[in-house]
Structure 1
Amino acid sequence: MKKSFAYGLSFALLLAIAVPVSQQTARAEAKKYKNCTELNKDYKGGVAKSAGIKNKGGKTKYKPFVSAELYEANKKKDRDHDFIACEK
């Protein structure tokens, strides 16, 4: 009984430490792309700042990927300033 409790407690502590570290690395890995062609290879619909953003430029083929960090890293590629970079 004591061993299973110790294992459970150890697992919970490791999990508590690992989750914040993985969130920090995800934020640090917001890749900055050279151009929209490169960005669209990974994200066909472009990158939106938030889920509630509407496209000003008209109809698009693909739904944009939502990531505020990725958008901030590539916001110079948002030519129409609608908070969606490289929409297609």
Structure 2
Amino acid sequence: MKKYLSVGIPFALLVGFTLGSAGETEAATKIITFKNCTELNKVYKGGVARSASVKNKGGKTYYKPFVSQALYDANKKSDRDKDLIACER
């Protein structure tokens, strides 16, 4: 019994900290709907991507986009080429 507790408690703490910190990155990002790409690019130079795995269809970009599904969804209207990156530069 003592053996299981000595292994189980650290494991539970590790899982708790891991799950707690995963939500903080998305929560730390303020979800703002910008009027246009000029306003969005003042805050996020490379635009906003829905996920880290998306590729730009529109050609060469100079900046890496910020990845946030919630922020992209709020500014989806600014993604003219529908490549899941809003306002890429």
Structure 2 length as normaliser, TM-score?
Answer: 0.69
**Unmatched runs of 5 consecutive residues or more in structure 2:** 1-16
Q: What RMSD over aligned residues (CA atoms) do the two structures have, in Å?
A: 2.5
> How far apart are the structure 2 equivalents of 1:59 and 1:29?
28
Structure 1 residues without counterparts, runs of 5 or longer? 1-15
Partner of 1:76, secondary structure, is helix
**Structure 1 residues 60, 75: CA separation in 2 closer, same or farther (over 3 Å shift)?**
same
Runs of 4 or more above 2 Å deviation = 25-29
**Letter paired with 1:76:** K
Q: Following superposition of structure 1 onto structure 2, how do residues 31-50 of structure 1 map, counting pairs within 5 Å? A: 31-50=32-51
User: Percent identity of the aligned residues?
Assistant: 64
Q: Does the CA-based 8 Å contact 1:48-1:83 persist in structure 2?
A: yes
1:38 aligns to what SS in structure 2? helix
TM-score normalized by the length of structure 1: 0.70
The structural deviation recorded for 1:27 is 7.7
Give the paired residue count.
71
Residue 6 of structure 1: aligned partner: none
